[in-house]
Amino acid sequence: MEKLTLKQKITENLKCNYCTDIKNASVHQLHDAVAKTVMGEIADQWQHDTQSRDEHRQACYLSAEFLMGRAIYNNLYCSGLLSEVTDILNEAGINIAEFEEIEDAALGNGGLGRLAACFLDSAATLKVPLTGYGIRYRYGLFKQYIHNGFQGEKADAWIGQGDAWSVRKDADSVTVSFGDSAVLAVPYDTPIIGYKAASIGTLRLWQAESAEGFNFTEFDKQEYEKASEDIIESEAISNVLYPNDNYQKGLRLRLKQQYFFVSASIQDLFRKYKKRYGSDMSHFAESFAIQLNDTHPTVAIPEIIRILMFNEGLTFEAAFEIASKTCSYTNHTVLSEALEKWDEKLFKSVIPVIYEIVKLINRKLITFLKSIGQNDKQINEKLIIDGGRIHMARMAIFGGRFVNGVAALHTQILKDEALKEWCEIFPERFQNKTNGITPRRWLGLCNPELGSLITEKIGDGWQADLDRLTDLKKFVDDKSTIARFIEIKNTKKKQLSDYILKTEGVFIDPGFVFDVQVKRLHEYKRQLLNAFSIMDFYFQIKEKKLPDLTPTAFIFGAKAAPAYDRAKGIIKYINCVADLMNNDPDTKDKLKVIFLTNYNVSYAEKIIPAADISEQISTAGLEASGTGNMKLMANGAVTLGTWDGANVEITEKAGWENEYIFGARVEEIAKIRPTYKPKEKIYYTNERVKRVVNTLVDGTFNDGDTGLFGNLFNSLINGASWHKPDNYFLLTDLEGYADTKLRALYDYKNREIFAKKCWMNICNCGFFSSDRTIRQYAEELWKL
């Protein structure tokens, strides 16, 4: 589009909607006018692409989370309007960076929700017909603040700022029925703009509203509270995202959320289907492939069966056949506390009809297992309804078509351990689909400086064909190219340092190594191990043992689930380490530690391009994949990590010499676990480990009498009623980790050699494009 026309349209928008002009508009008004202009530009294509998707086989991604982040820059970038709009604003004296005032759409916790967002981006770019279905939470993931080193939470009222990118579709509203009530599900559609607007997909999010509305009968009786009761109860369903990552607590409202968005979505598919085929249900399974993002939307299986039986008159057997051909399940974790099991009584009281269908599915499972000759023990370990609980993963495996893990190692663990007994009876159902990330947001958009260098060297086109980055290999020995890369890395570090100074009031020297660990806070991700290693360096410096340590900034960013006390204790501990390090004259010129506030997608876009070292240090076997590891690789950071999740494939692609791998592997952990005695075998015998662990309790730090540090110490040394000591093997890995990190920091002294390692990571990151992942889903699972 011509810049002049574009400017006219934005101006027109400001005039009609806000009675103002570019020079006088507020940032929000400008943002809305630009968004509306883009929406207008893509409207015809969006409508056309939506229609053509409905005329062919299509896939649906059912997910309780979509962690979209900020839309404005990405949408301008993908529709090719970013530089024009930047210019138009500049001419009016406005910096486009002012749009950073607009909040992220944080309708997700972490990896699983962000993966869903990357998938939508890739599908739109590849013209893969995929629609996202989820919940339009009024409050997304909480905003984090830090007070005295402790995490606090505030509500994320993102819609309060307006939602310029969505369209409410009242005509497509449906009713969702629970045992004791019914609510209205109203869809809001957001366009997903593929790169260079290759195609425009849709994210459809459901909002819960009262089906009955305001009750005038009660109002007339002067019962004012009762008059609004249904509104309040209904709206509660889509009110707030549960802030747990990899942890399931069987709460009633959470189950209501799951059935709410799943029933609305499945009803939506039947509406579309009937427009095409009428009441002949024989083409349903060939019309749709439904992907279940973890077990959270597993009630889709009984919901399809319910509609086919009660609305369309099919038998249970016929209905089961259709549901099980349509749905596939992605597993994202092997942590038992994250596997969904619902209390049977709760499940029955919330969704009684679905419960009856689950009983039929369970009965069919038993009949099937008997028919293939399984004994009572083999049957009991697979029951969907077992010991008063409903096992969602078991229903998703038996009632679906495929099961996939999210990295090679993870899928292997599913097949050999976690879901072994299922893999034995349904080996053909198990597949691997290694995760990926969209190179548009995570390279092109967040690192335009590196993007330009890449384009200069190998031409345009890598944004939608990331494997082309292998063409960069020939520059690895070209001194001037590597010098340019180092310069760009320095620029990104300087930009991040400026931003941190502005927002956190802390100065990070851009000349330091940037060692980055950004991800949700969880014991298995071992942020505490990282903090311990820094304390180890501290003690060594005090003993004058590390005279030539490369000055390093240790940068943390993480949110802890509000009820996860240990995670919150770890945040406080990191902040204590930061205080000690940053103020001690012996260390402050060598070590800087900072815990960044409110890590989210937009913050990630600033941190990741500036990183030198990517910390991926989970206990082997526990991080299903990780996706931050891929984003950091694409931006030229080396991985300091365990042999876990996608780190394995990253190392295989980039080359061993370009990563720093340490620690016990899955098999070793399995071997030592049964007789693991960290207190006797490590703590008492290893002074280096002991003095670091002791900082939790020896008065080095103060947890404000909360007992949090004592609890962390006990979890490591004595264990708790529900777990053995040092459940995540920090003591096992500490020395190897600290020494490997020192080796990486030492290698950094030769900046050119280190930069070559970084460069090889960029060259070899092509496999981790979510375009590759989506192509595999489309071909191997969805058969599109």
Binding site for ligand 26Q (CB under 6 A): 109-112, 115, 242, 244-246, 248, 254, 296, 332-333, 338, 340, 406, 435, 623-627, 645
Please answer whether residues 60 and 131 qualify as being in contact, where contact means their C-beta atoms are separated by less than 8 angstroms.
yes
Cα–Cα distance between 334 and 430 in angstroms, integer?
15
Cα–Cα distance between 323 and 316 in angstroms, integer?
10
Please answer whether residues 240 and 138 qualify as being in contact, where contact means their C-beta atoms are separated by less than 8 angstroms.
yes
Q: Tokens representing 401?
A: 């078509």
CB of 336 to ligand 26Q, least distance (A): 12
Cα–Cα distance between 351 and 188 in angstroms, integer?
25
CB of 561 to ligand 26Q, least distance (A): 9
Q: Which is nearer to ligand 26Q, 263 or 625 (CB)?
A: 625
Q: Which is nearer to ligand 26Q, 248 or 614 (CB)?
A: 248
The residue with its CB nearest to ligand 26Q is 111
**Is position 519 annotated as part of the catalytic site?**
yes
CB of 595 to ligand 26Q, least distance (A): 21
Partners of 152 in the β-ladder? 145
Cα–Cα distance between 76 and 78 in angstroms, integer?
6
Q: CA of 702: how far to CAs of 150, 529, 689, in Å?
A: 12, 19, 20
CB of 255 to ligand 26Q, least distance (A): 9
Q: Which is nearer to ligand 26Q, 515 or 623 (CB)?
A: 623
Q: Which is nearer to ligand 26Q, 115 or 744 (CB)?
A: 115
Looking up tokens 């330091």 gives: 512
Q: Which is nearer to ligand 26Q, 50 or 349 (CB)?
A: 349
298, 619, 627, 651: the active-site residue: 627
CB of 641 to ligand 26Q, least distance (A): 13
Please answer whether residues 769 and 435 qualify as being in contact, where contact means their C-beta atoms are separated by less than 8 angstroms.
no
CB neighbour list of residue 51: distance below 8 Å, 6 or more residues apart: none
9, 429, 440, 519: the active-site residue: 519
Query: What is the three-class DSSP state of 105?
Result: strand
Q: Which is nearer to ligand 26Q, 242 or 759 (CB)?
A: 242
Q: Beta 327-330 vs 150-154: how paired, if at all?
A: unpaired
Task: Name which of 714, 508, 527 is nearest 607 in CA terms.
Answer: 508
**Is position 3 annotated as part of the catalytic site?**
no
**Is position 631 annotated as part of the catalytic site?**
yes
Please answer whether residues 476 and 759 qualify as being in contact, where contact means their C-beta atoms are separated by less than 8 angstroms.
yes
- How many residues are recorded in the chain? 784
Task: Name which of 466, 468, 461, 471 is nearest 198 in CA terms.
Answer: 461
401, 410, 631, 756: the active-site residue: 631
Q: Which is nearer to ligand 26Q, 552 or 627 (CB)?
A: 627
525, 590, 653, 772: the active-site residue: 525
Where are the strands (E) in 75-229, listed by range? 105-107, 130-135, 143-147, 150-154, 167-168, 174-177, 182-193, 200-210
Please answer whether residues 386 and 342 qualify as being in contact, where contact means their C-beta atoms are separated by less than 8 angstroms.
no
Please answer whether residues 633 and 768 qualify as being in contact, where contact means their C-beta atoms are separated by less than 8 angstroms.
yes
CB of 772 to ligand 26Q, least distance (A): 15
Cα–Cα distance between 291 and 308 in angstroms, integer?
19
What angle is formed at CA 457 by the lines to CA 451 and CA 458, rounded to 5 degrees? 90
CB of 245 to ligand 26Q, least distance (A): 5
Q: Which is nearer to ligand 26Q, 252 or 743 (CB)?
A: 252
CB of 558 to ligand 26Q, least distance (A): 13
Q: Tokens representing 170?
A: 């009242």
Q: Beta 288-293 vs 327-330: how paired, if at all?
A: parallel
CB of 328 to ligand 26Q, least distance (A): 15
Q: Which is nearer to ligand 26Q, 234 or 295 (CB)?
A: 295
**Is position 520 annotated as part of the catalytic site?**
yes
Radius of gyration over every alpha carbon of the chain, rounded to an integer in angstroms: 27
CB neighbour list of residue 381: distance below 8 Å, 6 or more residues apart: 421
**Is position 627 annotated as part of the catalytic site?**
yes
Active site residues: 332, 519-520, 525, 627, 631
